Amino acid sequence: MRILLTGASGWLGRHLAPLLEARGHEVVGLDVVAGAFTRIVGSVADRALVFQAIAHHAIEAVIHAGALHKPDIARFPRQAFVDVNVTGTLNLLEAAAEAGHARFLFTSTTSLMVRADVRAGAGEAGAWWMDECFGPLEPRNIYGITKLAAENLCRLISRESGMAVAILRTGRFFPEDDDTHAVPSGPNLKANEFLNRRLTAGDAALAHLAALDRWERGCETFVLSAPPPFRRDEAAELARDARAVIARRFPDAVELYERRGWTLPARIERVYDPAKAERLLGWRARTDFAAILSTLRTGEELPFAHDPDWISPVLRQSR
């Protein structure tokens, strides 16, 4: 299939483009920043460019991963988020529907589910259990607000045109350090997040591939994260004493962590549940917390990327 991949120069794009090509697809990358997989340097907010790209390259499906996202908030005004994330998504959806595409993938974010109360900590029942039914949605920043608006445009255009649209509400996969939590630092924090809210960029790319292969009708939302090793009825205990739950599942976790000078989370206050993606797309993240412990046991390289110096391409360019 000839695929228009937006955000092809970005972190996800550079994992997804080679994977698509390895599966026999032809990738036409579109990004505001040049890159190895980017054939069209331009903005998704440029409506004429988007329609021309889809027609001129005889595109058969769009994977819309390009966006301004959370790290860009410090650098770009709110209007830029509306232009890129909302107008840009509408341009792509309308151009794809007009060209008669059978399917469209939109890379969204679990971040839009994080309301002020979720951010403040666990709820009455313990850790927030966050699947596709979680609501009401009240995103707390312009990133989440514009991504939610883009999701709603996906639902509208799918309903009106019949184009199948998969909304992939993706958990964290960025390689840089967290911009709000300094403790525990670096790889320790990332490893902990595989318990409840992170996946590798490779697994995120594989989920897009699964949706491209499997999603054929209507518009559906899928939460993507590594499978949490917990049950819903452990939510209260997770919020109170996560280490006790972790120790039950992984008896040697404390010792493996101590050898590295790492710490396990004392409390887990939200859990992203990717069960629907497994059920309907046949996708399950390959790298989970058990896989991380196994590399700690054997001394192999950690199975996720950590690069404190990574800066999103659009931010790098704007400096």
Ligand X SMILES: NC(=O)c1ccc[n+]([C@@H]2O[C@H](COP(=O)([O-])OP(=O)(O)OC[C@H]3O[C@@H](n4cnc5c(N)ncnc54)[C@H](O)[C@@H]3O)[C@@H](O)[C@H]2O)c1
Q: Which residues bind ligand X (CB under 6 A)?
A: 6-7, 9-13, 30-33, 43-45, 65-69, 84, 88, 107, 109, 170, 172-174, 312-314
Residue with smaller CB distance to ligand X, 66 or 274: 66
Compute the least distance from the CB of residue 89 to ligand X, in Å.
Answer: 10
Contact (CB, 8 A) for 277 and 224: yes
Is residue 182 classed exposed, middle or buried when 0-12, 13-18 and 19+ CB atoms within 10 A define those classes? Answer: exposed
Compute the least distance from the CB of residue 108 to ligand X, in Å.
Answer: 7
**142-168 as b/e, with b when 16 or more CB fall inside 10 Å?**
bbbbbbbbbbebbeebbeebebbbbbb
Cα(19)–Cα(293) distance, integer angstroms = 26
Residue with smaller CB distance to ligand X, 36 or 125: 36
Q: Distances from the Cα of 125 to the Cαs of 82, 236, 250, 301, in angstroms?
A: 35, 6, 24, 37
Residue with smaller CB distance to ligand X, 163 or 167: 167
Compute the least distance from the CB of residue 261 to ligand X, in Å.
Answer: 25
Residue with smaller CB distance to ligand X, 105 or 219: 105
Residue with smaller CB distance to ligand X, 67 or 113: 67
Cα(233)–Cα(126) distance, integer angstroms = 9
Residue 306 CB contacts under 8 Å (≥ 6 apart), including other chains: 175, 186, 187, 190
Residue with smaller CB distance to ligand X, 6 or 188: 6
Q: Which residue is nearest to ligand X (CB)?
A: 10
Cα(149)–Cα(253) distance, integer angstroms = 41
**Sign for the pseudo-dihedral over CA of 169, 133, 190, 280:** negative
Compute the least distance from the CB of residue 191 to ligand X, in Å.
Answer: 15
Compute the least distance from the CB of residue 176 to ligand X, in Å.
Answer: 9
Compute the least distance from the CB of residue 173 to ligand X, in Å.
Answer: 4
Residue with smaller CB distance to ligand X, 300 or 309: 309
Compute the least distance from the CB of residue 12 to ligand X, in Å.
Answer: 3
What is the pairing mode between strands 26-31 and 2-6? parallel
